[in-house]
Every structure is written in C-alpha cells, then in structure tokens.
C-alpha cells in the first residue's frame, strides 16, 4: 500500500536539501531590487492575477481533481501539498526562454514565497481536511501550520531578504555572481533529487507508474488554470506567459522538505512531489519552446 510506504531520507539529507533550496532562493533574490516592487505597486494587476492563480485557482482545481479521481490518501495529500507551494525555482528561467515577462516571473516568485509563510500551511490544512482520507493523515500527524510557516520562512524568505540586500549594497558583486550562481544552484538541486531518487529507486518505480498520469494531468490543470486566470484578468500575452508558467512550475523541492519534515516521508506524498519535480521541467521547457516561436505582444 502506497499510503504505508515510507521513503528513505535521513535527517542529514533533509538539512542538505534545506540548504540547497536556500541557495536557489538566494540566486533568484539577487535579481531583485526594492524598486522592482515599487513598479509592481504602481501597476499591480499582473502580479495580483498571478498570485490569485497560484494560491486560489490552483488549489481549487487540485481539490476538484482529487474529488473526481478519488486517489489514495497520501497521493491526494501530495497533490494538495504541491499545489499549496509557491512557484518553483526554474520558473524564471523557463519564462525567459518562453519570451514572457521574466521580471514579473521573478517578482511573482518573491511575493509568492513571502505569501507562502501564511498561505502554504493554510491551503494544506484547509483543502486536505475537506477530503476524508487525507484528513485522517492530517489528524494523525498533528501538523501545526505555525511549524510549516517557520520552516518556509527560514528556507525561502531569509535567503530572499539577504539576496535583495546584497544586490542593493553590492550591485557589482551580484552582477558577477548572478549567472554562475543560478546555474550552479540548479545543477546542485537536480543532482540532489537524482541521488535521492536513486536511493529509493525500487519504491519509486513501484509507485510512479500509477501516479504519473495524475501528476501529468495535475500539471496540465495548473498551466491551463494560469493561462485562464491571466486571460480573464485581461493581461497582455507577455504577462500571460509569465503567469501561466509560474502557476505550472511548483516548488516541489519545498514540498519534499515539508513531506520529510512533517509527514515522515510518506510514500504517496513523496513520489508525487518527486515526479512533479521531474515532469514540470519537461512540460515547462516544451511549452517554452512552443511559445518562443512567436513574439508576445506587450
């Protein structure tokens, strides 16, 4: 039973993953300056649409998917948890490749990361409790939203603040660090996920087949939800691409940290987050290749 499977992930590995995610967030933050937020404050519609898509539309679509497909408890909670996370660390790179508004994508990542302190634990608790089987897991684990908020703050928000501070105080240094650090952090993150999967390869293969279809459908709903939200909000195609990709690229690394820190590495949840981490990169790059064939109107 996948609900009873537990993946092998040591406390040391969890600390390493925390550190890697902090480096990834720092590499994003050194692209940001306080004035970027002031620009968005004067024209906030694209950012608001993106955050609504991320934290409202995607969780709703995820819950509807769970109701229709009725997956096992840990799989359902894994889908809900991934949907509750902020945008993923490769969304900015993919948005740039797609010819979308990379500045909006970076700002969405930053705002969503800060908002995740409150909204990620609330979305997990709220939507998870509405589906009976996953509600039993939540009751059994006694997860405190405050604990999740503290974890998110230390892993994502602190590096975000430090990166912006360095970019403000030492712009010449950050200009030299920016590209190498972004590529290095991505390479380390991908390598870590590969090693973690290798250590649990037998279990991953045993369960991934049954979960793959759900994750692919879930990711398609996320991309479609982002596109629909941006279209309803009347955003220009340039901004619409950023919102679409930001909604479809989730921080599955953060999802894995929360799963191993608070849910004991529960098999269904971990396999969902791990497969998401692989698939959203594939679908995002494929979509970017299609989008980049035409220039987006601004």
Model confidence over 223-265: pLDDT tens digits?
Answer: 999 999 999 999 999 999 999 999 999 988 888 888 888 887 7
CB 22 within 8 A of CB 155: yes
Cα–Cα nearest to 251, from 100, 103, 84: 84
In a domain, 67, yes or no: yes
In a domain, 84, yes or no: yes
DSSP notation for 25-38: HHHHHTT--HHHHH
User: Domain of 97: which CATH number?
Assistant: 1.20.1530.20
Cα–Cα nearest to 68, from 213, 272, 205: 213
In terms of average pLDDT, the best of 41-45, 60-64, 95-99 is: 60-64
CA 217-223-224 angle, 5° bins? 85
Alpha-helical regions (H) of 200-266: 201-232, 237-248, 252-262
CB 92 within 8 A of CB 237: no
Q: Is the dihedral of CA 114, 115, 121, 127 positive or negative?
A: negative
Model confidence over 138-177: pLDDT tens digits?
Answer: 888 766 777 788 878 877 788 888 888 888 888 888 888 8
**How many CA atoms lie within 13 Å of 164's alpha carbon, on the beta-carbon side?**
15
Secondary structure (3-state) at 250: strand
**pTM of the predicted protein model:** 0.85
In a domain, 296, yes or no: no
In a domain, 297, yes or no: no
State the residue range of the domain holding 273. Answer: 2-291
In a domain, 198, yes or no: yes
Element (H, E) at 164: helix 158-169
Banded pLDDT at 88 (limits 50, 70, 90): confident
**How many CA atoms lie within 13 Å of 11's alpha carbon, on the beta-carbon side?**
0
At residue 57, the pLDDT reads 97
At residue 216, the pLDDT reads 92
Residues whose CB is less than 8 angstroms from the CB of residue 168 and which lie 6 or more positions away in sequence, other chains included: 33, 34
CB 2 within 8 A of CB 238: no
* β-bridge partners, 6: 266
Model confidence over 31-61: pLDDT tens digits?
Answer: 777 776 776 777 789 999 999 999 999 999 9
DSSP one-letter code for 170: -
In a domain, 6, yes or no: yes
Secondary structure (3-state) at 145: helix
Q: Report the Cα 269 to chain-centroid distance in Å.
A: 14
In a domain, 274, yes or no: yes
Number of domains within the chain: 1
In a domain, 31, yes or no: yes
């Amino acid at each position: 039973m996948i609900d009873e499977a537990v993946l092998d992930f040591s406390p040391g590995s969890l600390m390493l993953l925390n550190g890697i995610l902090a480096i990834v967030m720092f590499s994003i933050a050194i692209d940001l300056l306080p004035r970027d937020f002031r620009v968005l404050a004067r024209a906030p519609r694209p950012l608001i649409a993106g955050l609504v898509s991320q934290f409202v539309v995607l969780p709703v679509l995820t819950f509807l998917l769970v109701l229709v497909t009725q997956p096992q408890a840990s799989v359902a909670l894994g889908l809900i948890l991934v949907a509750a996370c902020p945008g993923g660390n490769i969304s900015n790179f993919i948005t740039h490749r797609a010819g979308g508004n990379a500045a909006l994508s970076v700002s969405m990542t930053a705002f969503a990361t800060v908002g995740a302190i409150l909204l990620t634990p609330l979305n997990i608790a709220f939507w998870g409790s509405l589906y009976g089987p996953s509600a039993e897991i939540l009751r059994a684990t006694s997860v405190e939203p405050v604990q999740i908020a503290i974890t998110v703050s230390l892993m994502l928000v602190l590096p975000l603040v430090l990166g912006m501070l360095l970019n403000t105080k030492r712009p010449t240094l950050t200009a030299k660090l920016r590209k190498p650090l972004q590529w290095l952090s991505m390479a380390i993150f991908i390598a870590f996920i590969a090693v973690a999967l290798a250590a649990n390869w037998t279990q991953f293969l045993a369960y991934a087949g049954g979960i793959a279809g759900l994750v692919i459908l879930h990711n398609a709903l996320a991309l479609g939800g982002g596109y629909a939200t941006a279209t309803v909000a009347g955003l220009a195609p340039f901004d619409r691409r950023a919102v679409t990709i930001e909604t479809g690229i989730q921080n599955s690394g953060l999802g894995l940290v929360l799963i191993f820190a608070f849910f004991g590495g529960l098999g269904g949840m971990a396999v969902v987050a791990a497969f998401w981490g692989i698939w959203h990169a594939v679908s995002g790059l494929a979509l970017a290749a299609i989008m980049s064939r035409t220039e987006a109107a601004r």
